[in-house]
Amino acid sequence: MKRKLLFLTTFLTMALVATAQLSPETLAKRAKRKNLTVKEWNTDSKSKTRWLDHLTVYDEEGRKIEEIEYATYGQRERITFEYNANGKIEKEVVYDDRNKPIRIRKYEYNADGTKKKQFNYLPSGKLATVKVFEYMFSD
């Protein structure tokens, strides 16, 4: 029992340090994504028709701020992301194929930076569901 507690305490301490200071690798990845837009295209093997499948947009800090999924008829789903002062996703808004909000997700985090709760709201602002994240370690 003491060993598990020691392991858990060590892990949480390391996680806190890791979230407080971004690793050089993470910073390098973000630097490469600054103001980046990625388009993914599909091509039909027979007709060689090409259509946009996915679009991802990153901000000036290299964080994903928008993701759009397309079907052959147009936009299928769009998600926008907002971040808190700690760089964690604070709010996601999911839009339908007509660009109308269908779901709003807000997040709460543990001290170690892991997700604690996800609150799912209807477009009207009414709370629909709450998802609680539980982390269990095994030997």
Instruction: Report the relative pairing of strands 101-109 and 89-95 from DSSP bridges.
Output: antiparallel
Q: Which residue has the higher pLDDT, 24 or 40?
A: 40
pLDDT tens digits, one per residue of 86-131? 899 999 999 999 999 999 999 999 999 899 999 999 999 999 999 9
Dihedral class, residue 31 (left if φ above 0, else alpha if ψ from -120 to 50, else beta): alpha
Give pLDDT, residue 18: 43
- Residue 70: C-alpha distances to residues 22, 42, 51, 63, 131 (Å): 33, 10, 9, 21, 27
**50, 42 in Cβ contact below 8 A?**
yes
Give pLDDT, residue 17: 39
Residue range 4-26: mean pLDDT, rounded:
53
Q: Write down the domain spans for the chain.
A: 2-132
Asked which of 16-20, 68-72, 105-109 is least confident by mean pLDDT, the reply is 16-20
Tokens 């709370």 label which residue?
127
Which pLDDT band, with edges at 50, 70 and 90, does 61 fall under? very high
Give pLDDT, residue 25: 81
**2-132 has which CATH code?**
2.40.128
Is the per-residue pLDDT at 20 higher than 60? no
Is the per-residue pLDDT at 133 higher than 90? yes
Give pLDDT, residue 12: 46
